[in-house]
Chains A and B, each alone.
Chain A
Amino acid sequence: MAHSLEFKNIGKLYPGVKALDDISFRTEGGKVLALMGENGAGKSTLLKILAGDIKQSEGIYLLDGKEQDFKNPHEAILAGVSVIYQERQMIPALSVAENIYAGFLPKKGGGIDRKTLYANAQKIIDKFGLHMDAHTKVARLSVAYQQMVEIMKAYSRNPTVICFDEPTASLSDAEISALFRIISELKEEGKIILYVSHRMAEIFQVADSIVVLKDGKYVTSMDVADASEEKLIRAMVGRDIGDTYANLKRNDKYGDVVLEVKNLNNAKVHDVSLTIRRGEVVGLAGLVGAGRTELVRAIFAADKVTSGEIILDGQPVHFKSPHDAIKAGIALCPEDRKEQGLVLFRSIRENTTMPVLSELKKGAFLDKKKEKEIAQEAIEKYDIRTDTMEKLTTQLSGGNQQKVILGRWTNSLMKTKLLILDEPTKGIDVGTKAEIYQMVCDIASQGIGVIFISSETPEVIGVADTIYVMHNGRITGQLKREEATEEKILALAMD
């Protein structure tokens, strides 16, 4: 008999917020059910309840017809529920095999049966068709491969239910297709699969049916065969977005060259040259690990440069630290908002004004009134949804967090000439993504040169005026938006 999973009237109350409200649906083995919804729709909360991580306030869930009540994640794992979260939970200093079997290591005598451990791990790796040695330390794997280890870890416990929470957020296209091959094998084994993602194209590729949540409530469910992008977006946001990219008000007036990079080299970047004019949006496309982040970090002096020239406004520059780069007018919104972008337990105000504090002085002290004006300016300019600028940035949604960082780098005291955006829409819902695209175009209209990095190829094509494609630390091609297609970019990215 096929496995089944059913949620009945699940609700979850937090003080003042109803994170989930009367959620009911059912799915069965051999099917991929996609959970969709904007940020804050309640998808992650639902997965956490299923994983035994938090307890629901109302309702029940049944696995194979039996009511379950997991008190902690361990119980859930033993009952056959595995959740693969966005954040990887690996032990970097241990091998792939040890991570796969963490907590369930095969024993022999008093110790660990290493032979069985590595043999079993290698079997799983081979089954997944990955080029990986079970003895490799996880720390030495790329982000994408670490993600694969996480999936193998879940698989090794022989689960009935496997939940993926935004598994492709840090994967490149090639890796995503490997992941989908694995998912289809899991399907054939009759597993129940829940799949959370923001990426529309993926859902059509991988899912059999779709459940849409909005603001913690069940909106609708449909078979993929009956679904269309427009239909889903309408269900998720309650309105039509139309063709986001076609509606962008772009900047078409370019100024002088603001940044020229000549033959730049370091450990991860090889012989890179590019130019950016004022008002131009330059996209960097490529697979994860192609060296895009490393390139912009080198320009920003966050990483070392071994040779090559960086010319800003016609003057060669040699920055010693990000501080120097910022003073010269370069700004970077890093890839990882939470780890590198924001000081999460400080307010919107403090996060916004961080680089311009020296301009906010009245005598020895900070001019709080002027500081508040700067923060207010950012809140209004980017429509940051908050009741007060004193709110901690950890309490904001991903989209609003990104807006705080945009506000930081484009406030009226900053003399930003070049704004670098590294994966600015990662983990952000469709509605806010569209807002951010327009903000990028508006920033360019002010005569700021923009570097826009994204792993979602359609996004790069849609937003950037000029696209450079990278592979293995080198630039492999340059395209104008009009001539760019996903196929051309992918071909250059895989070289």
Chain B
Amino acid sequence: MTPDLIYGATGIAVFAIGLIGALCAQDRLRRVLALKLCSVGAGFILVVGAWRIPPADPDPVPHALVITGIVVMVSATAVALALIRRLHTLEAEDDD
């Protein structure tokens, strides 16, 4: 039992939870949240891949990749949420 195994398993579990949520959730906002969980799970696996047993320094390339991923994910989330707001407004207008 070392941190990389523990958090690697965590990453896989979080990814799986996000995947199930993205496919099965009824609500749009929850689906966005589920995809966000997937991205964090993937981040866990990359960060674990970069980890080396302490005094050794971790591999900086996967770290840079995860930071890039986080920024791309926030852009995608913002667009998805704008679409949700738009759809919701259109539906509310249809109901009136």
A, B in one complex? no
